[in-house]
Amino acid sequence: MRLAGFLLWEFVYTFRMSVPHAKSPSATFDADSAVRALQFACDTLQIEADALLMLKQRVATDPQGRFSKAVGLLFNCRGRVVVSGIGKSGHIARKIASTLASTGTPALFVHAAEASHGDLGMITADDALIAISYSGEAGELLAIVPIIKRMGAKLIAITGNDNSSLAQLADVHLNVQVDKEACPLNLAPTASTTATLAIGDALATALLDARGFGEEDFARSHPGGALGRRLLTHVRDIMRTGDAIPVVDEQATLYTALLEISKKGMAMTAIADTGGRAIGVFTDGDLRRLIETVQDFSTLAIAEVMHRNPRSVHPDQLAVDAVDMMEEFRINQLLVTDADGKLVGALHIHDLTRAKVI
């Protein structure tokens, strides 16, 4: 009977925990509730802003220069930066590792609990560990730190207590203590996690500057993002080539050029000499202007009405250079020529749009 009673209690408890919390029948979100919510928002933001200002002051006036020491330790790390934590600190640690990795510092996240069950093998003597625990007493971290220290890896601790066990074991300790959490119960990590995330961002940006990490470096680690596409896409990657290039020779008639414009769908055609060099261009806009003065197109030579010395780009130029040129001269098409002026491609603004360069 006792066992049956226990099982029944366990079932009821589990069932209750699985059901979303119901609101009190009398609870409503009215105008007063909206005002109260706004006040909570402002209080939260103020508390977290104060925490960051206090952290800034602590870093700026630290007589030991611990922040600079931490940056130097990470800069000189021959391996990777391993960031670890548990609970909310673990979530912050994962984000810090991601930010470091995307700004030129090879880094990875290791879950503190999983480290004791095999993931510790990810860490080598050449690595540096950033261990995050606001109390500085997280058992999962304290279990692995002695092992990491024995293997020779450097340790940076981020805690809210200079006297904590983790701080005492660290080569460099960064204190992110806050006066209070933004949580009205002063329990849920809020201001403290904001401060921890901020110190991680500060480390990443300081390292970025120390390494001379620039826009092109950032683009290489973000090839799928907008900046990556803008800085890594070259004209040759998206230009039209071969039979897709609208082109006629300089002996062609205007009628032949119009057929080429219609066939290739770029609203223009290039004109090339016998050596394949681009010597002119004729566009839909030119045609509209020509209609006002010319009635018979059948015998008119394209060489008589084309624009000579057409604007062009090199295939090895960045696609954003082509965008800049189109915007500057208010045109929608560009010829692509090699170093000798030979026509090797054509580029329409729609090609740049499809490639998400613009």
Q: What is the pLDDT of residue 353?
A: 87
Q: How confident is the model at residue 12 (pLDDT cuts 50, 70, 90)?
A: very low
Instruction: Find the angle CA(286)-CA(288)-CA(291) to the nearest 5 degrees.
Output: 105
Displacement of CA 95 from its chain's centroid (Å): 12
Taking only the tens place, the pLDDT of each residue in 34-55 is 999 999 999 999 999 999 999 9
Please report, for residues 59, 169, 259, the alpha-carbon distance to residue 110 in angstroms, rounded to integers and kept in the order given. 26, 19, 63
Taking alpha carbons only, the member of 262, 269, 267, 258 closest to residue 294 is: 258
Spatial distance between the Cα atoms of 219 and 199, rounded to a whole number of angstroms = 24
What one-character DSSP code corresponds to residue 306? S
Q: What is the pLDDT of residue 308?
A: 93
Assess whether pLDDT exceeds 50 at residue 191. Answer: yes
Taking only the tens place, the pLDDT of each residue in 60-82 is 999 999 999 999 999 999 999 99
Mean pLDDT, range 345-354, rounded to an integer? 92
Assess whether pLDDT exceeds 70 at residue 230. Answer: no
Spatial distance between the Cα atoms of 180 and 164, rounded to a whole number of angstroms = 18
Q: How confident is the model at residue 15 (pLDDT cuts 50, 70, 90)?
A: very low
For tokens 């110190």, name the residue.
Answer: 199
Spatial distance between the Cα atoms of 100 and 240, rounded to a whole number of angstroms = 39
Element housing 94 (H / E): helix 88-102
Element housing 172 (H / E): strand 172-175
Q: How confident is the model at residue 346 (pLDDT cuts 50, 70, 90)?
A: very high
Query: What is the pTM (predicted TM-score) of this model?
Result: 0.65
The encoded tokens of residue 78 equal 């021959």
Assess whether pLDDT exceeds 70 at residue 184. Answer: yes
Taking alpha carbons only, the member of 140, 87, 148, 151 closest to residue 116 is: 140
Q: What is Dmax (Cα atoms) for the chain?
A: 107
